[in-house]
Amino acid sequence: MSPFALRPSSRSLRAALLFLTALLLPQAPAQAEPGIRILNSLRAEELAFNALTSNRAALDALTEMPLHSKTFVFDGRLKHALEHPPARNVMAYLTECALPPGAAVEWTSRAGDTYTFKGEVGLCPEWAKDKPSQACLGYVTACLLARNNAFGRRVLVSMRGEDPSEPRRFNPSGARQEWSPMFLPCASGEAGLHAECGWLGENVGTCTPGAKVTVAAGAPHPATCTGQLGRIFGDRVLRVCEDPRGCAWEDRLADTLGNPCGGIEPSVEFKCPASGRYSVMSAPYSRAAIPGSWVAPVATSGTYPAEPFGAYTFREGAFYGNMFDSRGLTVEVVLNQDNFQPRLVNLRFKGVVHDNVHACHGRDWVDGDSHLRSRICANADIGGERIAGCMAYAAGPCEPGSYNSRPARCKVNDGTAVWGDGDFEGCMDEAGFQHPEPITVYLRSPCEVISPKTQTTCGVTCDYSEFPPKCSDTCKLKKSPGQCLQTDACLNNPKNCPAPPQQ
């Protein structure tokens, strides 16, 4: 049974009033998209267990010295740390996060091989010539966590934040508004098609320009009012846009809060634009509804989904803390100085490698803590010893309104430096200590950071090139973004969906 209260088939007076209000507000998204685009591809086991950032002496050297080639030549604490292959990989990402383009660190192994680690993002440019500040270390920590990938995949992410000392660090254009807040949670009880908040980017489809296309999620076929096109769980509305990044209501190709046969399951017909591409957005009819509803739309012609949503609009969560404080290290990797083989030294390890590193999740994950653990935890073999651990503590939800009963960890839902970019600020750990350098991660789709083994689901696939369509059962359907946010137990059987949180 669905935990969502479904609306009547007719549109409510309240939704109409909200529409009139929406017309008075600016809706069009800015042309630029904020943040720093960068690959998320650092293996979680390497970040957690390596001889550079999981070694007390190496951490002390990193925090006391410049991130410079000479440091790795003359400081004995770092001279051989990069002989450990995972440490070299972490060093590459660390340098990219910390130093700006044009800066680089060179290191030569005992075997005579020279490695060059190049700067890219520049979150801590002073580290090239001096020891890093605490703020620098916070941003680099968050950057490394944001770029960690437990599944060894290469995924582009958008990192967002605020650095008071350098306003353009996360906002190169300097614009006060970089993106519409339509993909952020609503501040109050909006509903219906016209509210410019609470939307989820679904996918991009392709079609023949000028052709009629029907996109539906759980609705009957509009020609016969029989059968079912796509799937739905809960009560959601659809918006179709020509722009692959989505659009405001005034720029839509089509939208719907129901279907021509009289039900609330969405179905809409539109003319394929000249570009031959379109994007689909969905949102809960009532933006105050608990998370967990989803749509899995299908299109009656062309290809859908053809590619992921065209903008980084899904807020995964935030990362914060300081992994460079050697006092917070609970287990370290130590190299034998003769053969450089690693071994583990248990300091006070209880599952988390760094005491002062944390992660929180966005409200839309139905089981956010499990998602965080899958993101930041890994198994590794160090010197023949098997170990399982996490890089950070899963601190719970960043924001209110989630399924998670734990308190929201971040005080600010959208930092004041740029309106609408949706960066969490003022994020706290479980002890209540505030960390001023969080980085918020945005994705094109939540499916990009879940296990490849769980990116498909069972259902029906149909060929709509003829009528009636030919359909068959399959367990190889790609999950929609909303399905990736739900638990597999719920997808397989609605009776197994988690109970709504106590309000």
Q: The tokens 């944390």 sit on which residue? A: 358
User: d(Cα 341, Cα 321) in Å, to the nearest integer?
Assistant: 30
What six digits make up the tokens of 454?
């769980």
Mean pLDDT value of segment 27-34: 54
Q: Region 184-206: what's the mean pLDDT? A: 94
Q: Tell me the mean pLDDT in the region 270-275.
A: 98
Number of residues in the chain: 503
Instruction: Give the residue with greater pLDDT, 480 vs 6.
Output: 480
Spatial separation of the C-alpha atoms in residues 17 and 250, rounded to whole Å: 17
* Residue listed under structure tokens 């300091």: 347
pLDDT, position 38: 92
- For residue 481, the tally of other CB atoms under 10 A from its CB is 27
In this prediction, residue 5 carries a pLDDT of 59
Residue 2, pLDDT > 80, answer no
Q: Higher pLDDT residue, 475 or 8?
A: 475
CB 426 within 8 A of CB 414: no
Going by their DSSP bridges, the two strands 303-308 and 200-206 should be labelled as: antiparallel
Per-residue pLDDT at 165: 86
Predicted pLDDT at 468: 84
Find out whether 155 and 447 touch, Cβ atoms under 8 Å: no
Q: Is a pLDDT exceeding 90 seen at residue 177?
A: no
C-alpha dist (Å) from residue 280 to 14, 63, 252, 264, 474: 25, 47, 10, 17, 23
pLDDT in tens, 82-121: 999 999 999 999 999 999 999 999 999 999 999 999 999 9
Is 1's pLDDT higher than 50?
A: no
What pLDDT, on a 0 to 100 scale, did the predictor assign at position 25? Answer: 38
**CB 244, CB 209: distance < 8 Å:** no
CA atoms within 13 A on the CB side of 296: 23
Q: Which helix (H) or strand (E) holds 491?
A: helix 488-492
d(CA 213, CA 272): 6
Element (H, E) at 117: strand 114-118
Per the DSSP assignment, residues forming a β-bridge with 134 are none
Instruction: Of 142-156, 243-257, 456-470, give the lowest mean pLDDT range.
Output: 456-470
- Judge contact between 95 and 105, C-beta under 8 A: yes
- Report the predicted TM-score, pTM, of the whole model to 2 decimal places: 0.93
Going from the C-alpha of 437 to that of each of 91, 98, 367, 477, the distances in angstroms are 21, 14, 25, 39
pLDDT beyond 80 at 18: no
Q: Residue 151: helix, strand or coil by DSSP?
A: coil
In order of 105, 421, 437, the CA distances from 135 in angstroms are 21, 21, 7
Residue 369, number of CB atoms within 10 A of its CB: 18
Residue 26: band (very low, low, confident or very high) from pLDDT cuts 50, 70, 90: very low
Q: Per-residue pLDDT averaged across 404-433, rounded?
A: 94
